[in-house]
Copies of this chain bind each other. A is one copy, B any other.
């Protein structure tokens, strides 16, 4: 095969406080014996990708630059965010956690993969036209499954299954999820319905309530309702949920969930203890929809925990047989339980367009963008 060149997205924040985005032209290296070259046809814009891509830049402040054939984009970073960015300053970072496409070349050991459709993850960034990855890091998609259908095969499905697996491992029997109307939230709802796990969905509007109700969710609570605190205690008492996953992060939600769990458990207790319920109540924060301080108010009791949770580290911690079982489930249910929906398809150059950046930064419910780096609509 002749040399392939590839355009790849780069994000840099300079010491001077500028965000710079551009497409870097690189030569695709030859695959090693155990590697494949994937032409990336579809890669989703997940919330964690958007955070890396833009940093704390205000989306509306981003301006186009460069030329039509070499587009760029840039913005000023608000000064107060600079101390937190020290570790990434002046580094040209690749972007894109996952994607899917066609194997166009392969090393000597894995020739059989040529022509197959695969999903893949790479630290080197999947917002690229081509990417060399280890064959063992690919999920070979079943016949008939397109790159578009496989583009989100890793992050959201393995996150939803990781949450359920965490629940089982830590001895809980029901879940609370906020904010639950996201693509991931809808996926978690499907997993819990299928596995008969009670799930308390917390959403932030009546419209989101309808979305989940239509998908068969039993408990959907609108956190903007004045009766929300009471409904949350009741739903937790009914389901017995003592574990929650929270994508909001900042603000009062994590504390509100712990206090509701403590109230539900204390009401069941026989006698008064100054220490509250001895049953451990846990909220894992896995997102930063609200980047502000996390405020834990009210009576949490003494048996509680709030902490970070990251899918990647969860899978590094568990044994490989369990991880394989969960990955196999994703492959088998990729077009049903784990189906993702996209509202827009964009090109790699579109990611540098100020209007499109504003659109995907909104992260509105029901809106999810798919990048098609190779230009091949899938």
Contact = CB atoms under 8 A, between A and B. Distances in A.
A310 interface: yes
A299 B292 CA distance: 10
A266 B302 CA distance: 30
Interface string A65-86: 0000000000000000000101
A312 interface: yes
B299 A308 contact: no
A87 B275 CA distance: 11
Contacts of A30: none
Contacts of A87: 266, 269, 272-273
A295 B293 contact: yes
A161 interface: no
A300 to B, nearest CB: 7
A315 interface: no
Interface residues of A, number: 38
A233 to B, nearest CB: 12
Contacts of A51: 274
A175 to B, nearest CB: 18
Contact of A305 (B52, B84, B91, B308): B308
Contacts of A272: 87-88, 91, 93
Contacts of A84: 298-299
B52 A274 contact: yes
Nearest to A316: B278
B293 A303 contact: no
Contacts of A299: 84
A304 interface: yes
A251 B297 CA distance: 10
Interface of A: 48, 51-52, 84, 86-88, 91, 93, 255, 266, 269, 272-275, 278, 282, 293-310, 312-313
Given A48-B274, A293-B297, 10 more contacts: A51-B274, A84-B298, A87-B266, A93-B272, A300-B308, A302-B310, A302-B313, A303-B310, A305-B307, A307-B307
28 contacts: A51-B274, A52-B274, A84-B298, A84-B299, A86-B266, A87-B269, A87-B272, A88-B272, A88-B274, A255-B293, A255-B294, A275-B312, A275-B313, A278-B313, A293-B297, A294-B295, A294-B297, A296-B296, A296-B306, A300-B308, A302-B309, A303-B310, A304-B307, A305-B306, A305-B307, A305-B308, A306-B306, A307-B307
